[in-house]
């Protein structure tokens, strides 16, 4: 398990905005710097405009969330019936509407994107982060470069609903860049940027992914250069961040990671442990989008339930034979499909268990009521 992007070389300040961000130009308001966009504004009803204000969730704890908004930082309780359903609970990056007077959450706004994760052995998908705009999928130009891994990340990013860019680091150490472009030619809609992450000028093309008001996340294996990349993007204006130390119920100090940071002169960076442990929880659509070429071929197979193994009239196998489709890509698609099917099954079982338990409780309650009536 890799550590935080930030822990080793602490350069980022957390969400609280510097005074430089806090000027009065409407295009650079504190809320906009936090990612407030027309998509969220449009969700506000007229009466809410007068009585509520939006705040952004910067960190999530058991029954509280840390939020930032026009009124600054505050901690909000989120344990009411509004948030009983686990899927409704706010996650990092969410926008909540607070009642101005009581400071109580009124509702959560719809998300522009959502990362969730199927933890090993868990029955329910865990929410990782919402409203991330851009994801840099980071790989290096060496043995770490692995197209199947890139496709796995792509499926996750597309399912979440974010914009992706593939960053190939250590370009300065690679003799031949053509092989990477060649390997990626099937992914025409994926921007690819080769960089020397140590060189500020070289990472300049990535700025468009971390402008003020945009939230950025990075995915990639350990050692590919994610921290180096961020340091170069942050430039010289580095400020130290620290983990939060807080007293738990037993009066001990515990250390927690914050999840959203401000990139100096840029947008927000999401760095949560969950992002580094992403699995394929229910990513059917993301997978279909990433392998749209195979889905299109499959529609041309003679049999609707073709497994693309050795069936006659299989357009997928025909494409492999003609060289149109890379066999590795087909193998990876199969593997990811199986993984998704397994995860979806676990989710479906968990939902069925919940339903059965609910039925059991209701039966017990009605039995108890009937019994009480008899004895009254």
Ligand X SMILES: Nc1nc2c(ncn2[C@@H]2O[C@H](COP(=O)(O)OP(=O)(O)OP(=O)(O)O)[C@@H](O)[C@H]2O)c(=O)[nH]1
Give min distance, CB of 231 to ligand X, in A.
8
User: Contact 76/65 with Cβ under 8 angstroms?
Assistant: yes
Touching Zn ion, residues 286-325 (CB under 5 A): 301, 306, 308, 314, 316
Q: Which of 86, 173, 292, 348 is the binder for ligand X (CB under 6 A)? A: 173
225 is in an annotated binding site: yes
Neighbours of 10 (CB within 10 A): 16
Residue nearest ligand X, Cβ-based: 225
> Contact letters (x/-) for ligand X, 125-154, by CB under 6 A?
------------------------------
Query: Which one of ligand X, Zn ion, none is in contact with 14 (Cβ closer than 5 to 8 A by kind)?
Result: none
Residue 206 makes contact with Zn ion by CB under 5 A: no
CA distance 308 to 318: 9
140 is in an annotated binding site: no
Residue 228 makes contact with ligand X by CB under 6 A: yes
Residue 204 makes contact with ligand X by CB under 6 A: no
Q: Which of 74, 88, 172, 237 is the binder for ligand X (CB under 6 A)? A: 172
Give min distance, CB of 7 to ligand X, in A.
8
222 is in an annotated binding site: yes
CA distance 272 to 252: 23
Residue 226 makes contact with ligand X by CB under 6 A: yes
Q: What share of the chain is helix, strand, coil (3-state, %, to 5)?
A: 35, 20, 40
Query: Which one of ligand X, Zn ion, none is in contact with 222 (Cβ closer than 5 to 8 A by kind)?
Result: ligand X
224 is in an annotated binding site: yes
Angle between helices 327-375 and 147-160 (to 10 degrees): 40
Query: For residues 216-233, b (16+ Cβ closer than 10 Å) or e, as one string?
Result: bbbbbeeebbbbbbbbbb
CA distance 141 to 176: 9
User: Contact 133/216 with Cβ under 8 angstroms?
Assistant: yes
Query: Which one of ligand X, Zn ion, none is in contact with 308 (Cβ closer than 5 to 8 A by kind)?
Result: Zn ion
Using alpha carbons, list the distances in angstroms from residue 324 to 53, 85, 170.
54, 46, 30
Query: Which one of ligand X, Zn ion, none is in contact with 241 (Cβ closer than 5 to 8 A by kind)?
Result: none
- Two tokens, residue 164: 């992706």
Q: How many residues bind ligand X (CB under 6 A)?
A: 20
Nearer to ligand X, 224 or 325 (CB): 224
Give min distance, CB of 60 to Zn ion, in A.
44
φ/ψ (deg, to 5) at 58: -100, -30
Give min distance, CB of 180 to ligand X, in A.
13
Give min distance, CB of 311 to Zn ion, in A.
6
| Residue 122 CB-density burial (10 A; 0-12 exposed, 13-18 middle, 19+ buried) | middle
For the chain, strand residue ranges (E) read 13-14, 52-60, 64-69, 72-77, 95-99, 105-108, 114-117, 126-130, 134-140, 163-169, 192-194, 215-219, 244-247, 253-256, 260-262, 268-270
Neighbours of 215 (CB within 10 A): 27
Q: Which of 58, 60, 162, 224 is the binder for ligand X (CB under 6 A)? A: 224
Residue 340 makes contact with Zn ion by CB under 5 A: no
Nearer to ligand X, 14 or 276 (CB): 276
Query: Which one of ligand X, Zn ion, none is in contact with 306 (Cβ closer than 5 to 8 A by kind)?
Result: Zn ion
Query: For residues 159-176, b (16+ Cβ closer than 10 Å) or e, as one string?
Result: bbbbbbbbbbbbbeebee
228 is in an annotated binding site: yes
220 is in an annotated binding site: yes
Q: Using CB under 6 A as the criterion, which residues of the chain lie in contact with ligand X when the complex forms?
A: 2-3, 5, 8, 169-170, 172-173, 195-198, 220, 222-228
User: Could you tell me which residues are annotated as the binding site?
Assistant: 169-172, 220-228, 301, 306, 308, 314
């Amino acid at each position: 398990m890799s550590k935080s992007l930030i822990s080793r070389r602490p350069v980022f300040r957390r969400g609280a905005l510097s005074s430089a961000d806090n000027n009065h130009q409407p295009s650079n308001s504190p809320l906009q710097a936090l990612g407030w966009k027309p998509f969220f504004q449009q969700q506000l009803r007229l009466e809410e405009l007068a009585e509520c204000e939006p705040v952004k969730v910067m960190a999530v704890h058991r029954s509280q969330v840390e939020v930032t908004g026009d009124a600054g930082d505050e901690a909000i309780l989120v344990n009411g019936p509004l948030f009983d359903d686990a899927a409704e609970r706010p996650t990092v990056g969410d926008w909540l509407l607070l009642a101005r007077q009581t400071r109580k959450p009124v509702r959560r706004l719809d998300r522009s994107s959502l990362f969730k994760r199927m933890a090993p052995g868990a029955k329910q998908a865990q929410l990782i982060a919402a409203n991330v705009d851009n994801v840099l999928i980071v790989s290096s130009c060496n043995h770490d470069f692995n197209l199947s891994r890139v496709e796995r990340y792509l499926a996750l990013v597309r399912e979440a609903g974010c914009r992706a860019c593939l960053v190939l680091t250590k370009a300065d150490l690679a003799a031949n860049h053509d092989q990477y472009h060649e390997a990626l030619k099937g992914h025409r809609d994926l921007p690819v940027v080769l960089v020397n992450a140590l060189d500020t000028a070289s990472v300049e093309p990535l700025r468009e992914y971390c402008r003020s008001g945009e939230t950025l996340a990075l995915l990639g294996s350990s050692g590919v250069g994610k921290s180096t990349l961020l340091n170069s993007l942050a430039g010289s204006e580095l400020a130290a961040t620290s983990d939060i130390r807080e007293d738990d119920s037993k009066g001990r100090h515990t250390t927690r990671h914050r999840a959203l940071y401000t990139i100096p002169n840029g947008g927000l960076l999401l760095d949560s442990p969950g992002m580094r442990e992403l699995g394929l929880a229910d990513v059917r659509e993301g997978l279909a989008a990433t392998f749209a070429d195979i889905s299109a071929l499959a529609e041309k197979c003679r049999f609707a339930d073709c497994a693309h193994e050795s069936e006659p009239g299989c357009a997928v196998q025909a494409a492999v034979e003609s060289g149109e489709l890379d066999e590795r890509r087909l193998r990876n698609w199969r593997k990811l499909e199986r993984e998704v099917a397994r995860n979806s099954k676990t989710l479906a079982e968990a939902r069925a268990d919940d339903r059965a338990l609910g039925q059991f409780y209701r039966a017990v309650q009605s039995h108890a009521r009937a019994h009480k009536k008899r004895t009254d």
